[in-house]
Amino acid sequence: FMITSNISNAVNALNQGELVAIPTETVYGLAGSAFNEHAIDKIFQLKNRPTCNPLILHTHSIEEVLKFVQYIPPAAMKLAEAFWPGPLTLLLPKKSNIPNSVTSGSHLVAVRIPNHAVTLSLLQQLDFPLVAPSANPYTRISPTNAKMVDDYFGEALPVILEGDICAKGIESTIVGFHANIPVIYRQGAISVDAIEFIAGKSKVQATKKEKVTTPGMSPMHYAPKTKFCIVDSVLDFIYENRDLKIGALTLGKLEVNLPNTTNINLSIAADLEEASTNLYKSMYDLDGMGLDCIIIEQFPEIGIGKSLNDRILRASFR
Ligand code: TXA
Ligand code: MG
């Protein structure tokens, strides 16, 4: 088994109904043929994911997408043209060639064209689209490099396609439509503002602690095993809890150096895009250090900061 840069290894494995980890600009995906029931089963099994949680279809062009969906509403087409290839997932009415096991019985299929040269090339070499959830066991942190995928699955996943660190670092933004009005089911690498700039006013499905209304809105997602807390002030928390082994994720340099504290700076320049690239990997690294807790302050509620806040909020649910 291996982490490989050789796309033909992935093509061969996928043609044989095997699974392959693929790099995308958001997170790594656990991919299989969308037209192979056996491969679809294996995805759910390997992730230990409930089969009621549907999969995103990945392909390489709008022309291809039209083979799998009945139509693309005008607002969706505007978004597709603005953001594909890119971290946008559209919920569209599926054609009958898409198996119900992909959509968990829904008449809507989630589709996206990922913006990653390796995976676009792979998709162009296949006769079928790929279904790919994030390549993590259910409820764990999504992987943003090949090594994390290997740590999670080891020999159970023989082919991991190397694609460096995921540039965006958080999942795609999922958008559905009610009468041509965009409904944002998952905030992600494209900000709500950017979606609205192209497609007009949207409705955002809020993240709620108690209620799970839609697939993809499961609150227990992206969680480290270590206790994860959103705090008002990282500095205050550290000073008030000197007996604890603390992992602190910060935006900018932490002006304190205590022996019990491990600091990872998500972006020296406090840049939200850079913080997004680094967030999951940093959470994962701290999670492996046997700390008492991981702390972080809310991100500024602007642009992609809202999506990052959604993720850290979910990570803090127990
Ligand atoms: O950035 C991404 O979207 C990554 C990369 C690999 O493309 N994929 C990803 O997949 O995040 P996954 O399975 O971890 O999350 C997809 C979410 C799920 O929460 C699922 O419930 C929702 O999309 N979803 C998929 N198909 C859907 C459908 N037909 N209707 C409603 N929600 C759907
Ligand atoms: Mg996921």
74-111: per-residue pLDDT in tens? 999 999 999 999 999 999 999 999 999 999 999 999 99
Our answer on whether the CB atom of 51 is closer than 6 Å to any ligand 1 atom is no
Pocket probe for ligand 1: among 40, 46, 56, the residue whose CB has the most ligand atoms within 8 Å is: 56
Q: What is the pLDDT of residue 220?
A: 56
Q: How far is the CA of 260 from the centre of ligand 1 (A)?
A: 38
Q: What is the pLDDT of residue 221?
A: 61
Considering only residues 294 and 317, tell me which one the structure prediction assigns the higher pLDDT.
Answer: 294
**Residue 212 above 50 pLDDT?**
no
**Residue 208 above 70 pLDDT?**
no
Q: What is the pLDDT of residue 222?
A: 73
CA atoms within 13 A on the CB side of 258: 19
- Which atom of ligand 1 is the closest one to the Cα of 110? 26
Q: What is the pLDDT of residue 213?
A: 45
217: confidence class by pLDDT, cuts 50, 70, 90: low
How far apart are alpha carbons 287 and 315 in whole angstroms? Answer: 12
Query: Locate tokens 């099994």: which residue?
Result: 45
Q: What are 237-249's pLDDT values in tens digits?
A: 999 999 999 999 9
Mean pLDDT of the chain: 94
Tokens representing residue 32 in the block: 């299989």
Mean pLDDT of 209-217: 48
Q: What are 33-81's pLDDT values in tens digits?
A: 999 999 999 999 999 999 999 999 999 999 999 999 999 999 999 999 9
**Residue 214 above 70 pLDDT?**
no
How far apart are alpha carbons 264 and 266 in whole angstroms? Answer: 6
Our answer on whether the CB atom of 171 is closer than 6 Å to any ligand 1 atom is yes
Q: What are 171-204's pLDDT values in tens digits?
A: 999 999 998 899 999 999 999 999 999 999 999 9
Tell me which residue has its CA closest to atom 15 in ligand 1.
133
Tell me which residue has its CA closest to atom 31 in ligand 1.
215
Tell me which residue has its CA closest to atom 3 in ligand 1.
172
Considering only residues 223 and 235, tell me which one the structure prediction assigns the higher pLDDT.
Answer: 235
**Residue 219 above 70 pLDDT?**
no
Q: How far is the CA of 243 from the centre of ligand 2 (A)?
A: 34
- Which atom of ligand 1 is the closest one to the Cα of 171? 1
Three-state DSSP string of the chain: CEEECCHHHHHHHHHCCCCEEECCCCCCEEEEECCCHHHHHHHHHHHCCCCCCCCEEECCCHHHHCCCECCCCHHHHHHHHHHCCCCEEEEEEECCCCCHHHHCCCCEEEEECCCCHHHHHHHHCCCCCEECCECCCCCCCCCCCHHHHHHHHHHHCCEEECCCCCCCCCCCEEEEEECCEEEEEECCCCCHHHHHHHHCCCEECCCCCCCCCCCCCCCCCCCCCCEEEECCCHHHHHHHCCCCCEEEEECCCCCCCCCCEEEEECCCCCCHHHHHHHHHHHHHHHHCCCCCEEEECCCCCCCCHHHHHHHHHHHHCC
Q: What is the pLDDT of residue 238?
A: 95
